[in-house]
Amino acid sequence: MTKLDEIISQIKKKHVYIQTHNFPDPDAIASAYGLQELLRVRGIESTICYSGRIDRYSTIKLAEIFSIDLCHIESLQEKLSEQDEVILVDSQKGNSNIIDMTGDEIICIDHHPENEKYSYRFKDIRPQTGACATIIASYFFENNIPVNKNIATVLTYGIRIDTNNLSRGVSKQDMEVICRLYEDCDYSTLYMLENCTLCYEDLVAYAKAIESIRIFDEVGFADAGGDCPVTADISDFLLALKEVTFSVVYSRREDGFRFSVRSEKKELDAGKIINAALKGIGFGGGHAHMAGGIVPFDGDETNEAALCEQIQERFLNVIGKI
């Protein structure tokens, strides 16, 4: 049996929900979109759902161009029951970046470090893989299922974004998949998506972050302001400075602070460091080279400044012990 055969064998209903992590990025959306097509070919209908919101302009454009139907979980609450079957993509049960929606999480397909506290009927978790979309693409190839132009383009975009154009956390399998998708991909649309990524509000966030940059022994911090949709991009931008090898960018949201962390040193594991730095006040995790986190907060500006100072000290203390 192939991995896809195993997945199909574990689905007992004619319809399933495909849940991405909160605030889905191109890799999560591409993975869900590709899996939806695979299930359709095997006679199973599905609904892609998420919580939070889609922030980045280019991600919204991706969904619009390819008519990817994404349902917010709040709009599904009256339809959901505990008997509904849920497939998680690009995330895992118990992680801080996904809500526990109504239903039974029967399958998990992910490329983040495994959360061994939870079990599924079937799981395909490959932390060594740069993008979840790579795993989904492999199912097409292993089962000789044709990849149409839309699927090839969306999967390629998801892989390129999550690996920073094949320069970060990329594996041999990511490279092989990109090569196999090449002939079927619409590169004019891909070029447009990769080069139309900013809007005016994003530039404001970059300006705010640049004004606030603080660097301590190659560790860079930046405040991207309130409701920033591009903290990950700004964290990559900060890491590009020759003085920075570990970047931490944060933004105040309605429910607290969201963090984006990047590392270019093997000994500075971004996922482990943010998990340790936020322990007791929030949640964090991810890969060795890129990670994210959340710190709940509903205080005023005075307490906000004090909290940010405390969090910076926490990161520096954790890194100082490595």
Sequential DSSP letters for 102-143: SSEEEEEEE-SPP-TT---SEEEE-TTSS-HHHHHHHHHHHT
CA distances in angstroms from 78 to 73, 88, 121, listed in the order given: 10, 20, 26
Q: How confident is the model at residue 143 (pLDDT cuts 50, 70, 90)?
A: very high
The CATH architecture that domain 3-195 belongs to is Alpha-Beta Complex (3.90)
Q: Quick count: other Cβ atoms within 10 Å of Cβ 14? A: 9
Residue 9 pLDDT greater than 90, yes or no: yes
Per-residue pLDDT reduced to its tens digit, 259-270: 999 999 999 999
At 301 the pLDDT is 79
pTM of the model: 0.90
9-13, 54-58, 107-111, 157-161: range with lowest mean pLDDT: 54-58
Q: Decide if pLDDT at 102 tops 90.
A: yes
3-state DSSP percent of the chain in helix, strand and coil, to 5 = 40, 20, 35
Residue 50, C-beta contacts closer than 8 angstroms, at least 6 positions apart: 19, 20, 21, 22, 23, 24, 28, 70, 71, 72, 73
Do residues 18 and 36 make contact, with C-beta atoms less than 8 angstroms apart?
A: yes
Taking the domains of the chain in order of start, what are their residue ranges? 3-195, 201-320
In CATH terms, the fold of domain 201-320 is: Diaminopimelate Epimerase; Chain A, domain 1 (3.10.310)
Helices (H), 253-321: 270-277, 301-320
